[in-house]
Amino acid sequence: MRRSELDEHRGEAVSAGEQFNIEPQFQRTTVPCEGTAGDLLVLTPLAEGEYDPSPQGLASLWLCTRSSNEGDQVPAVWARVQFDGVASCDRPVPDPPQDRPPLGKG
């Protein structure tokens, strides 16, 4: 979904049980140099429609944590969102890990 499309729906509620899809950037193994803090993107090395034989999937979700600055030729910084488990419809979802350090102020 492009930023302009997201802006059209900003602030709208999503009904319980709905899913949304971030269209992957197919056959891409690097993040873009351009980005605005808060951007999300999905990368996959696979071609569109290509079957993914890997057990947990090859697509990855990335969050832009620092905007690019074209004037100074400073590229955006992206952080991969790391998930703590995977699930499939044929079994219950795993419990969240309980070994995270306690949150601190600051």
41-78 pLDDT, tens digit per residue, is: 999 999 999 999 998 899 999 999 999 998 889 999 99
| Residue 90 resides in a domain | no
Closest CA to 33 of 3, 82, 73, 6: 73
Cβ 3 vs Cβ 35: under 8 Å: no
Domain count, the chain: 1
| Residue 1 resides in a domain | yes
| Residue 14 resides in a domain | no
| Residue 68 resides in a domain | yes
**In the numeric block, which tokens belong to residue 72?**
């100074």
Q: What was the pLDDT predicted at 41? A: 95
> What percentage of the chain reaches a pLDDT higher than 90?
49
Neighbours of 73 (CB within 10 A): 8
Neighbours of 46 (CB within 10 A): 17
- Under the banding of pLDDT at 50, 70 and 90, the label for residue 84 is confident
| Residue 38 resides in a domain | yes
Q: What was the pLDDT predicted at 23? A: 92
Q: Rounded to whole angstroms, how far apart are CA atoms 31 and 42?
A: 9
| Residue 70 resides in a domain | yes
| Residue 60 resides in a domain | yes
**In the numeric block, which tokens belong to residue 13?**
């509620």
| Residue 106 resides in a domain | no
Domain extent at residue 70: 1-7+21-49+56-83
